[in-house]
Structure 1
Amino acid sequence: MMNDIVFGVSDFVAVFNQTIEYAYPSINIVGELANFRVSKNRWVYFDLKDDMSSVKFFGTVYQLPGPLEDGLMVQVTGVPRLHPQYGFSISVQNLKPVGEGSIKRASALLEAKLRSEGLFDASRKRLLPYPPARIGLVTSAESAAYHDFIKILQERWGGVEVELADVQVQGEKAPPQLIAALDYFNSHNNPVEVIVITRGGGSAEDLSAFNHEQLTRSVATSRIPTLVAVGHEVDVSLAELAADRRASTPSNAAQILVPDKTNAIADVRASIEVMHNQVLSNILMSKACVYDNVSDIFQALEGSLLVASRDILLLRSEVEAQNPARIFGKGFAQIRNVATNKLSKSVHDIQIGTEIEVRFVDGTATAQIYSKSSVSDL
């Protein structure tokens, strides 16, 4: 009988571990966190307790969802073991806060940690392409969030290519799937222009995946700009704080990314109307300027013509004054030496016997010089 068996200590530990491993290869325990401590930035020790009992746990910091503190209600998944030297404890496989109060408190602790690292700084934020040609959408294909986003996107703009990464958005599998989707889009050979991570609203526990530390860090370090939309107006998730832009709902995310084509067309028409009116105004102003310039030119020409007319009249008067006919009309005559056919301007140009031609205002006469005298002879 089993009661008659006597074990050595090591044998008992071995049998106990084999028995409990067979009966409970993995167990889930909910309790209040107590005596929480971290050793050498790697090893984690704590107790889970209720009103009557307490159980020791052991694990590593890599299995934690983020900073923790005593008093939080958590659910731990782990492997029970009886250690030969340290006694009974449970090796942690997974840990998560439970209950709205503990979930929010754990989220606040993680937010303070990440904020101190500058992960949410405005200087890290990038502008989103507007509108994008290609969108990487991370959500559940069966969710209302997916259908709402696609519906509003197509109604407002259309023609945008959307590549879906179908993932779980709540539960234990959600964080690693969300992180894998981000990694996929960031390593894509034909990269999208923006990554949208979205889901509808829910309880604090439903939304806890979006407060996961590694997911938050992946959003913050994404090579491609990110837009996170969790349909919960009251609380903002850490993934939203880390994103380049957040939206209140999946529909709001679509509204942020693309313009309303109806409004866009109206804006284009209004712009065309403004440009038409501006061009028309410029033409009218140009016509007025041309008219004014032509008027100025005509006035200038008119003034120039008046001056020219006056100058011509003066010149005409001068020319008329020098007209030989007028001179002849005053009794003057012109004398030409017939032999030389040259005008005789002086008495010294002719000799006694020279034949001359005398021109009068109304004709000519021929004469011969019989005598001459100069002024100096008088």
Structure 2
Amino acid sequence: MRKDATADNFENITAIQSLQHPYRPVFLRLENPDDKNTYDFIKENMAGVEVIDTILRQLKELIKIRNAGIRTEEALNRLLKEQSEQLILEEYGVWVFYPWSKKLVHLLDKEDFIEVRTNRNLYKITPEERQVLRSKTIGVIGLSVGQSVAFMLALERVCGALRLADFDTIDLSNMNRLAVGVQDIGVNKAILAARKIAELDPYIDITCYTDGLTDGNIDDFFTGGQRLDLLVEECDSLPVKIKSRIKARSLKIPVIMDTNDKGLLDVERFDLEPDRPVLHGRMKLFEGLTDEAAVAKLDQLTPRERFDTTIDIVGAENISERMKQSLKEIGISITGWPQLGSAVGLGGAMVTDVSRRILLGQYNASGRYHVDFYDLIN
């Protein structure tokens, strides 16, 4: 007996609501009856859905990389025909639905997808190293500069899971350095980064903390489900910079920070040096204080003290002439610290390279480094 229209409408609304996650895609394997029902519902009942099916192209590439000795297109096509004829193509692999874009995409399933997507990494990253890296979890705090970092970490697949923390949303003025579109204005920065990564590689596990890093979620960010293997700190907040490092040090988690100007990169190996002072001990106002006293003092700093402490951390000697001029104009002709897209891109590359080597045990030091194009190319 047919259900009445009210019941149908209720079920449709419930189904649609279950498919509205802000940044996590929905995986549908059609041999599972429930997944097949959801797949049919998306195609038949949801307006504006775009179906993208390139599974034969992906399968052909999988066959090619597993048969690297094949020299002709004819031989490759013959293998593809033989293999595809043994499959129910619609049920092969997995269908991935992206709620925010209403795209339903047919992909290789996880192991085959990772094998193909990372094939051009070989042997700069060996198969054994690839397995090590996919077990790692990296946290990123601050998704302005951190967006470039997070995306590059995912692009190179330096980890299997990411935790992204940022309370802020995209503004038009962010778009000199963030690879976003005008349609993204007003979207939370962590969510937007997570969406971009999910569209690149839906099998990377992402958790967003859209309140930023807070006293209420710091434990979950660092240890929820699986303890972080590495922290990338890219936020503007001095209290968060210090609190996150104190937490990382207590858990023996290494920290990396890219500061953009003059290609400045900081590495703090709290995993190897658990008594190391945070931020290389550069904060004069906090000298001699316990962790508890330092955290308490953070809430009492004047704006000037915060600014001076930030300069202490970076080091006046490490600030470029253009940045010094900019700092004089903050609050007069400009409203915030200037950052260039090229510098943000460089930072993403540097952090990714060093992160990979730390996680593989190939780099075992703390330090401060510069990759300054003005010095290197002049």
TM-score normalised by L of structure 2 = 0.22
Larger relative contact order (C-alpha < 8 A, sep ≥ 6)?
2
Bigger helix share: 2
Bigger radius of gyration? 1
TM-score normalised by L of structure 1 = 0.22
